Amino acid sequence: MDLVLGPFSTTIADPVADVTEKHKMPMVAPVAAVTSIYRKGRKFIFSMLSPAEVLLEGLIDLAAKKGLKTVALINADEPAGPGIRQSSIELAKRKGLQVVFADAYPPGTTDFSAILTKVRAANPDVLGVASSVVEDGVAITRQMKALNESPDGRVHAVGVPAQVLRGPGA
């Protein structure tokens, strides 16, 4: 064997990388994007995605350019979530945005009403959602509409849906 095509997610790619590293076997991890996997001194694992921590940068940049002022961030409680949330908080602050809410929801959540009620109470201009489950974004969008929170515009990235709720030029 000359190459291992890695498993789908970060959760399983990390332990598999221990095995491929031990045997000095290159592994391409197609969607394992959490940078902690690559910062362990490994030499035989390669990603095909941008680091997970930068996935909401476009949303934060767009919000700042449009003159929006506040942002809420929610993420699935999975390996990439905390890194995406923390890097997004730091970038939002550097861009002059105030983070009014940041929290995680359990994997497998289908009823987002509790966390969306908290988001609504925080009254953000922008909501960034980080999840490896695209269906989360669909469910969150539908449930936001059910709460009468209709976004003026939307920005979507695969697995990391984001909502622009309101603001100048949105």
Direct distance between the N- and C-terminal alpha carbons of the chain, in angstroms, rounded to an integer: 51
The two tokens of residue 69 are: 């002022």
> Look-up: residue for tokens 């959760």?
11
Reply yes or no on whether the pLDDT at 160 is more than 50. no
Q: Positive or negative CA dihedral for 11, 14, 20, 23? A: negative
Reply yes or no on whether the pLDDT at 87 is more than 50. yes
CATH topology of domain 53-164: Rossmann fold (3.40.50)
* pLDDT digits 0-9 by tens, 4-62: 887 767 778 889 999 999 999 999 887 777 778 888 889 998 887 777 777 788 889 98
Domain limits, CATH 3.40.50.2300, in the chain: 53-164
Confidence grade of residue 161 (pLDDT, cut at 50, 70, 90):
very low
Confidence grade of residue 166 (pLDDT, cut at 50, 70, 90):
very low
Q: What share of the chain is helix, strand, coil (3-state, %, to 5)?
A: 40, 20, 40
Question: What burial class does residue 95 get, using C-beta atoms within 10 Å of its C-beta: 0-12 exposed, 13-18 middle, 19+ buried?
Answer: middle
CA distance 162 to 119: 13
